[in-house]
Amino acid sequence: MASSLSETRIGHDAGAHPARPIRWGNCLLSGYAMLVYLFLYGPVGLLVLLSVNNSEVIGLPFRGFSWRWYETVANTPELVHAIVNSFAVGAASALAATVIALLMAMGFRSDLPLRNVIVKMLLLPILIPGIVGGAVFLVFFGVVGVPLGLWTTVIVTHITWVLPFAFLTLFPRLHNFDRSLEEAAMDLGARPIIVFQRILLPLIWPGIVSTLLFSFTLSFDEFVRTLFVIGDERTIPVHLWVLITNQMAPFLPAVGVIIMGTSIAISLIGFAVSARSSHSGTEQ
Amino acid sequence: MKDRTGTADKSRIDGASQRNRVKALLLVMPGVLWLIAFAVVPIVFLGIMSLWTSTIFGLSKTLTLDNYRSVASAPAYLLVLWHTLLIAAATTLLALIISYPMAYFLSVLKGRRKTVAVVLLFMPFWTSYLVRTFLWLPMLGRNGLINQALMRLGIVSAPIDWLLYNEGAVLLGLVYVYTLYMTLPIYLSLDRLDPKLLEAAADLGAGPFRALWRVMVPLSLPGILSGCIMVFLLACGAYVTPQLLGGTRGVMFGSIIAAQYMQTNNWALGAALSVILVAVVFLCVFTIGRRVRLNEVFLGVRN
């Protein structure tokens, strides 16, 4: 997703666009876009407002600004523990999925037997609905006899879930990569590992970093599949779910804002890295 | 003479490409093994388990179609399945209506404004869908924004209850959470479109709507179709949204599957229901979108 975004042409020639409908058509379109953004961000804004609302119930009216719900979160060991768990699993699964995906994307540049079969296998975790994905993993681990837990079942589930996205972000970068640089190095006698280290890696490094970051947010936000296989441990989305379905605690908006803020911050960095790299790519 | 050097070259090239293929195979091997172990095999397991039966003594491993028979003979399951497909279809349609003008808006923007507009649109979708579903509770609840605003304006005197816990709330939640999967592919296909084509249509006397309908829409059809497939797939498997916003009236198939694992502990029936959901969804997708190739949708390459 991210890569395709960065690939889109950003600078069009001025005036390249057709003499389109009429001027009021454009105003209408901009007004419509504003409404869509309002629909997207309005509820998010409300959540942020409620997270600092000095009120015992989740809802309006606004009774004054207060950090108390964030303090409650920081002083609740289970919540902090769940957040730490999410960061750890996110980092580990992002790293594992990116390494596996990078190797696959490199292999995909050659004429590979069974290419289409491999692509279909890669798409399985995306195409199977989340709820079925959860059932699939629970049944599998149950039959094989793996005890449910963060570092057994959850990590495997997350790597499998993130892998296709990591591949789809990395693949176009390697696919568009100019192979003549590598071939030149090979002709000059460089060993494959040196070519990888000195030529390929430095050039696709921004792509790898943004893939790591996007993979992290995917794992950090994953919920349904995790709910099935987590047993008694908690990631922060699972903990939020348990709290929502049991009783509505007034600090829930603060938890929601922390989850959202984390993924937004990390994917913004990812966007920045990937935008910069595609910019330098056009200069070559 | 000439011929022989030709074959020698050819065999050298063959040898090199043979070595390349082996290298490529070695590179993809960890990923392929991982996918076989944790994607293909588990799905096969689920298929087999759907043919077992859950008893009070545990799983009976005799292969039988009992689970499927009990689903087929229970109108309640089929009704929820039908209901789920309808909600998913409505979600897809609404997402398409919202997305097309939005995608067009993004595709005609230029420079920095375009980057900002695109990133702003993406940002919310890169965050937890659980949180994005949860935030509709304070939007629509009794103390929520809508009710408070309506009361403040004097339109209603007491909070209205029917905003939440029904199909409408589920539909709203699903559209909110999944619209990007429609906007993104349409935007990408419109962005690739050569603006000269629309100019040509205008030069040849086509009005704006005719140009839109006869030139732009057909050329963005791959984007539309892949968007529809993604949103329909995601909405059919929804669990969080009906669970949080649907109440008893907005139950979807995902909730029934989850109940087999989290409440009644009937894993075999849950497996059969999962197989049914996947089969029905894929049947819908392949009859509607037979013209779309998955590789093109996901990799953006013809291969």
Residue A168 counted as domain residue: yes
Proportion of chain A above pLDDT 70, given as a percent: 88
Using CA coordinates, name the residue in chain A closest to B103: A33
Tell me the C-alpha to C-alpha distance, in Å, between residue B296 and each of B185, B222, B266.
Answer: 11, 9, 39
- Would the pLDDT of B2 be above 50? no
Show Cβ contacts of residue A153 under 8 Å, excluding neighbours closer than 6 positions: A137, A141, A146, A147, A229, A230, A231
Q: Residue B218's domain is classified under what CATH number?
A: 1.10.3720.10
B141 contact residues in A (CB cutoff 8 A): 58-59
Residue A16 counted as domain residue: no
Residue (of B107, B278, B243) closest to A245 by Cα position: B243
pLDDT tens digits along B75-90: 889 999 999 999 999 9
Mean pLDDT of B147-164: 81
How far apart are alpha carbons A237 and A134 in whole angstroms? 15
Q: Which of A78-82, A168-172, A276-280, B161-165 has the lowest mean pLDDT?
A: A276-280
How far apart are alpha carbons B256 and B270 in whole angstroms? 8
Q: Residue A238's domain is classified under what CATH number?
A: 1.10.3720.10
B130/A223 CB distance under 8 A: yes
Mean pLDDT of A151-171: 93
How far apart are alpha carbons A173 and A200 in whole angstroms? 11
Task: Indicate the average pLDDT of chain B.
Answer: 83
Q: Which of A111, A228, A263 sits opposite B126 (nearest CB)?
A: A263
Q: What is the pLDDT of residue A169?
A: 87
Query: Is residue B182 very low, low, confident or very high in pLDDT (cuts 50, 70, 90)?
Result: very high
- Would the pLDDT of B41 be above 80? yes
Query: Is residue A14 very low, low, confident or very high in pLDDT (cuts 50, 70, 90)?
Result: very low
Q: What is the pLDDT of residue A160?
A: 96
Residue (of A228, A53, A49, A251) closest to B259 by Cα position: A228
pLDDT tens digits along B222-245: 888 888 988 998 999 999 999 999
Asked if A104 contacts A167 with a C-beta cutoff of 8 angstroms, the reply is yes
- Would the pLDDT of A85 be above 80? yes
Q: Which domain holds residue B270?
A: 48-299
Residue B39 counted as domain residue: no
Q: What is the pLDDT of residue A94?
A: 96
- Would the pLDDT of A6 be above 50? no
Using CA coordinates, name the residue in chain B closest to A9: B191
- Of residues A20 and B157, more confidently modeled: B157
Residue B40 counted as domain residue: no
- Would the pLDDT of B34 be above 90? yes
Query: Is residue B296 very low, low, confident or very high in pLDDT (cuts 50, 70, 90)?
Result: low
Query: Is residue B263 very low, low, confident or very high in pLDDT (cuts 50, 70, 90)?
Result: confident
- The structural domain count of chain B equals 1
| Burial of A12 per CB tally in 10 Å (0-12, 13-18, 19+) | middle
- Of residues B250 and A159, more confidently modeled: A159
Question: Which amino acid does the sequence have at A160?
Answer: T
Residue B292 counted as domain residue: yes
Residue A104 counted as domain residue: yes
A140/B45 CB distance under 8 A: yes
Residue B38 counted as domain residue: no
Residue A231 in contact with partner chain B when CB distance is under 8 A: no
Mean pLDDT of A4-20: 43
Q: Which domain holds residue A74?
A: 68-283
Residue B155 counted as domain residue: yes
Residue B35 counted as domain residue: no
- Would the pLDDT of B201 be above 60? yes
Q: What is the pLDDT of residue A282?
A: 41
Question: Which amino acid does the sequence have at A23?
Answer: R
Q: Which of B25, B118, B195 sits opposite A5 (nearest CB)?
A: B118
- Would the pLDDT of B8 be above 80? no
Residue A5 counted as domain residue: no
pLDDT tens digits along A174-186: 877 667 777 777 7
- Of residues B215 and A95, more confidently modeled: A95
Residue A199 DSSP symbol? I
Residue B133 counted as domain residue: yes
Proportion of chain B above pLDDT 70, given as a percent: 89
Count of CB pairs separated by less than 8 Å, A with B? 287
Residue A153 counted as domain residue: yes
B298/A36 CB distance under 8 A: no
- Would the pLDDT of A17 be above 90? no
Q: What is the pLDDT of residue B302?
A: 40
Mean pLDDT of B174-202: 85
How far apart are alpha carbons A128 and A147 in whole angstroms? 24
- Would the pLDDT of A192 be above 80? no
Written as one string, the DSSP assignment of chain B is: -HHHHHHHHHHHHHHHHHHHHHHHHHHHHHHHHHHIIIIIHHHHHHHHHTTSEEETTEEE-S--SHHHHHHHT-HHHHHHHHHHHHHHHHHHHHHHHHHHHHHHHHHH--HHHHHHHHHHHHGGGGS-HHHHHHTHHHHHSTTSHHHHHHHHTTS-SS--STTSSSHHHHHHHHHHHHTHHHHHHHHHHHHHS-HHHHHHHHHTT--HHHHIIIIIHHHTHHHHHHHHHHHHHHHHT--HHIIIIITTTT--HHHHHHHHHHTS--HHHHHHHHHHHHHHHHHHHHHH-TT--HHHHHHSS--
Residue A128 counted as domain residue: yes
- The structural domain count of chain A equals 1
Task: Provide long-range contacts, Cβ within 8 A and 24+ apart, for B140-145.
Answer: B140/B164, B140/B169, B140/B245, B141/A58, B141/A59, B142/A59, B143/A57, B143/A58, B143/A59, B143/A60, B144/A59, B144/A60, B145/A46, B145/A60
Q: What is the pLDDT of residue A148?
A: 92
Query: Is residue B303 very low, low, confident or very high in pLDDT (cuts 50, 70, 90)?
Result: very low
- Would the pLDDT of A16 be above 60? no
Residue A185 counted as domain residue: yes
- Of residues B138 and B9, more confidently modeled: B138
Residue A161 counted as domain residue: yes
Residue A12 in contact with partner chain B when CB distance is under 8 A: yes
Show Cβ contacts of residue B52 under 8 Å, excluding neighbours closer than 6 positions: B59, B60, B61, B62, B63, B64, B268, B271
Task: Give the tokens for residue A76.
Answer: 């609740």
Proportion of chain B above pLDDT 90, given as a percent: 33
- Of residues B244 and B207, more confidently modeled: B244
Q: Phi-psi region for residue B252, left (φ > 0), alpha (ψ -120 to 50) or beta?
A: beta
- Would the pLDDT of B295 be above 70? no
Q: Which of A38-42, A76-80, A182-186 has the lowest mean pLDDT?
A: A182-186
